[in-house]
Chains A and B, each alone.
Chain A
Amino acid sequence: MRDYTLPSLGADMDQGRLIEWLVQPGDPVHKGQALAVVDTSKAAIEVEIWFDGVVGELRAAPGQMIPVGAVMATIVASGEAPEPVAAAAPHSVGQAETELTERPTPRPMASASHLEVGGVRRRVSPAARKLAEERGVDLAAVSGTGPLGAVTLSDVEQAAAELAARPTPPVEAVGPAERQALVRQAIATAMSRSKREIPHYYLSQTIPMARAVDWLTAQNTGRSISERVLIAVVQLKAVARALADFPQLNGFFIDGAFQPAPTVHIGVAISLRQGGLVAPALHDVAAKDMPQLMRELSDLVARTRAASLRGSELADPTITVTNLGDQGVEAAFGIISPPQVALVGFGRIAPRPWVSEDGTVAAVPTVTASLAADHRVTDGHTGAMFLTALYDCLQRPEDL
């Protein structure tokens, strides 16, 4: 039996409210499958399982607020023999009750506890009490079938089953106004923590974009409008490629140490129409071609704005990219999202005066790229070399 615990879906998250289960006890589940919908401040998140198995017990009820790390369900992992729950219960009850009858009364009971109901004290075994707490069973209402009316584990299980069978009103996800306030609060917490804890340094580099823009225009000619790729995708791919030689900018700083990540999952900063910002992961950017990245980006933006994301999208970004070119700014200097260690910013692509190698000045589309990086992990030298690599990648878009 393995515990499935609520994963942390971001530096600012310490709890989530269970909206609904997507599986039932006995369902087979596979790695990557969504088990439940949990509401955090950012969105209603589908939390995924990271191993194969069969669902054992569900330990949380819809509507319940669950701390990060708490057990939501038990799963029989593939390869384990399932423990029959029914067989376990009589064994533990029998053991507890043996202890009870062996002890002479009125010695204080160390291993069991008493429940006072209507002046009559009944014994409740520790296993029964724990299960009652987990399942929301009111012990006072449970009739005990054990010795002297003791409440046994199977008594609580039956009461819990009756409780579960009763139809409960569906738990609604958070409404838009409340969500906006929660998102704002989450951003405030995360950005304040970032500026307190991360010593940021900032670098910028102006990059000529004529080759990238012309290449993309040629690629898009002949594509139908629904397959058109945006220059933003070219920029994301270039960042992922440039990071290949700079693992110190792609990973997590946790408990005083940097852990490089094996793949580049780019947190794409997406603004919400009503205000607020989320940067969910576009996974494995270096490995995918532009049309696939474009489809995935489009889908990610739509789901982000509909407040419907997957747990892995919130937890997985290894670096963040913020692109404010559409809003017209020259450059964007961001605040790193912990536990990441870097953030790349892009400003507006526009024709600007550019001096070419032969000394002539021409109007050339350029963009200013910026890097915010964690000085505990890298120095400006590394950051500068990364931006130079990014510059080079964008001069050879056909190689991306």
Chain B
Amino acid sequence: MNDTELRAAVIAELRTIAPEVDGDELRDDRPLRRQVDLDSLDWLNFLVGLHQRLAVEIPEADYPQLATLDDLIGYLRARL
């Protein structure tokens, strides 16, 4: 899976929680949770979805490394 496909998968998962999200309008270098209204349960469900879709383990301690879309995609790519 290349980065474009990975980004598409992440956006698709995000849209199951926040259907109003438009992938083309998100800034990849800005904190995701400032751009999309996600509470802590939404965030957890999003990560569970990524875990199930991509089979990647995401420990709680790693949350600070997932602030922006760029960060998230880099993190996932390293563990696929």
| Interface residues in chain A, defined as those with a beta carbon under 8 Å from any beta carbon in chain B | 217, 220-221, 225-226, 228, 230-232, 271, 273, 297-298, 301, 325-327
B22 to chain A, nearest CB (A): 15
Name the A residues within 8 Å of B3 (CB-CB): none
- Are A273 and B37 also in contact (CB < 8 A) when A225-B48, A226-B51 are? yes
A294 to chain B, nearest CB (A): 9
Quick one: CB contact mask for B41-63 with A, threshold 8 Å, 1 for yes? 10011011001100001111000
| Interface residues in chain B, defined as those with a beta carbon under 8 Å from any beta carbon in chain A | 18-20, 37-41, 44-45, 47-48, 51-52, 57-60
Name the B residues within 8 Å of A226 (CB-CB): 48, 51-52
Supplied contacts A232-B40, A273-B37, A297-B41, 16 more A-B pairs, CB within 8 Å: A221-B59, A221-B60, A225-B48, A225-B57, A226-B48, A226-B51, A228-B44, A230-B40, A230-B41, A232-B41, A273-B19, A298-B41, A298-B45, A301-B41, A325-B40, A326-B40
Name the B residues within 8 Å of A271 (CB-CB): 39
Q: How far is the CA of A271 from the CA of B18 in the complex (A)?
A: 13
Q: How far is the CA of A298 from the CA of B41 in the complex (A)?
A: 7
Q: Which residue of A lies closest to B33 (CB)?
A: A326
Name the A residues within 8 Å of B48 (CB-CB): 225-226
Name the B residues within 8 Å of A273 (CB-CB): 18-20, 37
A372 to chain B, nearest CB (A): 21
Q: How far is the CA of A52 from the CA of B77 in the complex (A)?
A: 56
Name the A residues within 8 Å of B44 (CB-CB): 225, 228, 230
Name the B residues within 8 Å of A298 (CB-CB): 41, 45
Q: Looking at the complex, which one of B18, B45, B60 makes contact with A220 (CB distance below 8 Å)?
A: B60
Q: How far is the CA of A325 from the CA of B43 in the complex (A)?
A: 14
Name the A residues within 8 Å of B38 (CB-CB): 326
Q: How far is the CA of A32 from the CA of B19 in the complex (A)?
A: 33
Q: How far is the CA of A298 from the CA of B39 in the complex (A)?
A: 12
SS of A interface (majority) = helix
Name the B residues within 8 Å of A327 (CB-CB): 39
- Are A225 and B47 also in contact (CB < 8 A) when A220-B60, A273-B20 are? yes
Interface centre among A217, A221, A225 (most CB of B within 10 A): A225
Q: How far is the CA of A73 from the CA of B48 in the complex (A)?
A: 43
Q: How far is the CA of A232 from the CA of B58 in the complex (A)?
A: 20
A297 to chain B, nearest CB (A): 7
Contact A225 B45 (CB under 8 A): no
Q: How far is the CA of A6 from the CA of B51 in the complex (A)?
A: 43
- Are A225 and B58 also in contact (CB < 8 A) when A273-B18, A273-B20 are? yes
Q: How far is the CA of A226 from the CA of B51 in the complex (A)?
A: 9
Q: How far is the CA of A298 from the CA of B46 in the complex (A)?
A: 12
Q: Looking at the complex, which one of B19, B39, B40, B51 makes contact with A225 (CB distance below 8 Å)?
A: B51
Q: How far is the CA of A220 from the CA of B52 in the complex (A)?
A: 18
Can you list 24 A-B pairs, Cβ within 8 angstroms, ordered by A? Answer: A217-B60, A220-B60, A221-B59, A221-B60, A225-B44, A225-B47, A225-B48, A225-B58, A226-B48, A226-B51, A226-B52, A230-B40, A230-B41, A231-B40, A232-B40, A273-B18, A273-B19, A273-B37, A297-B41, A298-B41, A325-B40, A326-B38, A326-B39, A327-B39
Interface centre among A221, A271, A326 (most CB of B within 10 A): A326
Name the A residues within 8 Å of B52 (CB-CB): 226
B77 to chain A, nearest CB (A): 18
A68 to chain B, nearest CB (A): 32
Name the B residues within 8 Å of A301 (CB-CB): 41
Q: Which residue of A lies closest to B52 (CB)?
A: A226
Q: How far is the CA of A271 from the CA of B19 in the complex (A)?
A: 15
Q: How far is the CA of A217 from the CA of B61 in the complex (A)?
A: 9
Closest CB pairs A-B (n = 6)? A326-B39, A225-B51, A326-B40, A226-B48, A230-B40, A225-B48
A180 to chain B, nearest CB (A): 13
Q: How far is the CA of A225 from the CA of B40 in the complex (A)?
A: 13
Name the B residues within 8 Å of A221 (CB-CB): 59-60
A53 to chain B, nearest CB (A): 38
Name the B residues within 8 Å of A230 (CB-CB): 40-41, 44
- Are A228 and B60 also in contact (CB < 8 A) when A273-B18, A273-B20 are? yes
